[in-house]
Amino acid sequence: MSVVENMDVLGQEPAVGQRLVYLVNGAFVAVAPAYVYHAVMGLPIDQYPLVYGAVIVVVALLLSLAYHSTAFNTFQKLMRDRAGYITKKAAGGGDIKALKLQQAQTTRHEAVSGALMYVNAAFVLGYLAAAILFAKSQPISNFILSTVLPAALIFYLSSLRASMKK
């Protein structure tokens, strides 16, 4: 079973359920810096509700798009690498098509989990670096720049990686 035959397992465009999972994960990650700026830096939410809301929405959307792009690229690479693992001899007389479908589903779970971990870790490291870089600026500017810039960079790099593979 080739990568093309497994597109229904993890397609180039995410399904509605996948989009929802990615968006919820992105929102959880985006809220963490907002909490830090509210609790540690004393940036009140009631004075800047639109800024907090806009930054969280933008970061969640950018990260959710980066999750799927990274997961799809990882899935394709893993499926190419694992193409010859299941043979008639390895199947032991079992249903080889069912085993390959199970392999594709397991690979999808690995790719999505890895993408979530990788993108979240990259965002947190980028956020910390940007927060240090913009530390001397006003707290609201620091919040916006140190949160949105790493998410935009991660989205750009994941999209660039996806476009280079075509």
DSSP at 45 = T
Q: Is the pLDDT of residue 7 over 70?
A: no
pLDDT at 122: 96
**Tens of pLDDT, residues 104-126:** 888 888 999 999 999 999 999 99
Mean pLDDT, the chain, whole residue set: 85
Nearest of 2, 69, 64 to residue 27 by alpha carbon? 64
pLDDT at 107: 85
**Tens of pLDDT, residues 52-91:** 999 999 999 999 999 999 998 888 888 888 777 666 666 6
**Tens of pLDDT, residues 21-55:** 999 999 999 999 999 988 988 888 899 999 999 99
Between 12 and 18, the more confident residue is 18
Contacts of 33 (CB under 8 A, 6+ apart): 127, 131, 143, 146, 147
pLDDT at 9: 66
Enumerate the H helices of the chain as residue ranges.
Answer: 16-39, 49-81, 88-91, 96-133, 139-164
pLDDT at 103: 80
Distance CA 150, CA 42 (A): 22
- On whether the CB atoms of residues 30 and 122 are closer than 8 A, the answer is no
Q: Which of 89-93, 95-99, 110-114, 125-129 has the highest mean pLDDT?
A: 125-129
